[in-house]
Structure 1
Amino acid sequence: MAINIPRGTADVLPGEVELWQYIEKQARETCKLFNYREIRTPIFEHTELFQRGVGETTDIVEKEMYTFIDKGDRSITLRPEGTAAVVRSYVENKMYGDPVQPTKLFYIGPMFRYERPQAGRMRQFTQFGVEAIGSNDPAIDAEVIALAMRFYTNLGLKELHLEINSVGCQVCRPIHREHLIQHLAEHKDELCDDCKSRLDRNPLRILDCKNEKCKSLTKDAPNITEHLCENCAPQFEAVKGYLDQVQIPYTVNPRMVRGLDYYTQTAFEIMAEGFGSITTVCGGGRYNGLVEQIGGNDMPGIGFALSIERALLTLKSQGIELPVDTTLDCYLIALGEEAEKKTTVLLDQLRAHGIAADKDYLSRKMKAQLKAADRYGARFVLIVGEDELKNNVVIVKNMQDGSQTEVAVSELISYILAQ
């Protein structure tokens, strides 16, 4: 019986993996422009990290984490998101002591959530995210948003739409919480089971419920923006001002709360036309209390995360082809046993000079080898037979126009590099 891939995962095969490499390269280059440095954290962490950091009332912690007990009787979880792990590393490695502040980091790596697989939502998925820790300046909120927007525009995505909100802080959020509970209490019996349990524990999460009945019940619920304190209100206005200055259009969505408990103040989502409708392709916001929750000093932070898979699907739905080069420079064909030995040496010399090259390893006829060269998209076919060995030359066939020329072996590298 064949063993199949686990549900909710996918193989990334040659031909597609080059698209991933291109996107990852764009992510790294964009981060370099904004002076964000890469960090790599473990794929699994102690479960407590996500319980404390992400929040015990979130869907991620309550329903979606891949958690197991290891041989040391420790509860371990495959990371469901990147921020908590980056903040743990920031605290543990005392990055707050670095002379260059704020600490600006990015990551690219796999995340794991047990949920129903669908387009753009897998059980193993790859996130690109950034974190800026150590600054309360609203200008860095705008910078993080601008970085995400620049990444997508560099890929060629069109009709991006930014939605922003402020979800308040520990001062103004309790006031909004009381008003929200009062509004929803009379409809408690009509809420879905999840929202009934959230009403007392974390009523703000009810605004994020996808249940249609809950959506209608919260349609006229009080907005957090109506209750922002004397710190959060000017902070939000300043963020909007910076976005205006760098000409990034946005819409204020007072119902946006995001799905993670650590968010404070600025929250945002980037939408794009994809999957046949408008879909969220990126989300992020401030998390000013998270560093302290994870055991560090009280340090502010802001970041975002986006799915590489979702970016690829959105690019495909918009008909955008990435400029990925999968061609081969040279394909070597040997005619005879002695020629085989010679092409092995030539192959090594070509590669040593940065020329992508390959040869036949299946003892196929010349016609079949030419077809293989064509399938590889080879620019040139280099043919070595008995006559070429005697004269110390190589026949170079240009696969674009079909022309052929003899080139001395001693001049082959410079000839190919000059083309």
Structure 2
Amino acid sequence: MKISKTQLIYLGLILCILLQNSFFHLINPSSTMTLLLLLDIAVLFLLSLTTRAYGAGKYLNKYLLMVIIVVIIPQTIYAITLGETVNGYIDVIRGPFSLFLALPVLVLMVRKNSIEYLLDKVAFLTTISLAILLANSFALNNMGVSLLPFDYFQMPLIKRGDWVRILLISDFLSFTSIYSFCKVLKGKKNRGLFLFSFIICFLSEIYIEQSRVMIMAIAASCLIVFSQTLKRNKIWFYFLAIIFVIIGLFGDWFSSVFEIFSVENEGLGVSTLTRINEISYAIQLIKEHPFMGTGMVHDYYFIVYTNGFSYEYNHTDIGILGCISYIGLIGTIVYFVAPYIRCLKTIKFYSNKNNDSLEYSFMLGILIYVTITALTILIIDNARIFVWPFILAVFEFCRYQYVKNQVNVEGMK
């Protein structure tokens, strides 16, 4: 049986996701798996260049060319100049290299004329992966044992409160949370399964990763998407909004949120204070290295001494400021700012005639999430960037659909 290029791209993307999450966290991650992932991305990119996409990938081709010129080449020169090891170079360059997935993802969406064909599978794989980690975290918290066949994260366990906290459990956690929520609201079938997927994803964020900003960003994204659905029934929309404000005021929700981020908070205040110090140090680094940054080959972590105290500077804690300190103003503009502005423009004109569609709801939700987290947990950090090409592909596909439909309408006049 002959396998088409479209099917090969689909299978290759599924393999990429499995390699990225270490086959549901059941295989010990290694440099071999990283090399296989990079090879898979390269093959997929070359395959997508030879697959007809009806001109949908013109912008992404230009974007990827700029990433090569402004980010990959300079950072490679940095690596050679500073004597970076091969493993160290591969570890940091796989972030920008993963952006080349944007084109095969877009090509598959164009060929299937849908975002759902691929994203449904992404949601399925992510839900399985997180369900396994949820079971493992429950065992760690209640029995002190791990169900996984090895020490997956290879680090001493840390706790926040009474729960073991494990960071960076899935590149697609937030992405799948918002997508599954939109499928519950706008999907035509399997709503129960996507509700289960949303619950698993959101529970994983609360119970395992425990990131305050990500929890709030996912919740805000879903609430705003939900409010868009309720706008067709304004009485319900205003009623729920008033109830939310009343409960928030009398139930001390709002004051609790501010307390969580206060430096005086007994449990979490240290984290907030560290970020304040990191912002101050990042501004200093930007002044010293404004255009090219400190370089991606540098370790994420620096020990910084200020006011007689030492703390660990981690640029991934402080969002876009940390990114500028890392790859400079030029790299940040090309890498994130320019495509982000294009996404804003896409959703603006797409909303004119498609604001009741699944695609619009998902674009709105994911854009809100990216905007909120840009202040602390930027989507293009090396540890999270794997999902960025999928987001770009969704926006480019919706833009392509809109333009194609407009051309068809004009042709019928």
TM-score by length of 2: 0.26
Task: Indicate the structure with greater helix content.
Answer: 2
Structure number with the higher strand fraction is: 1
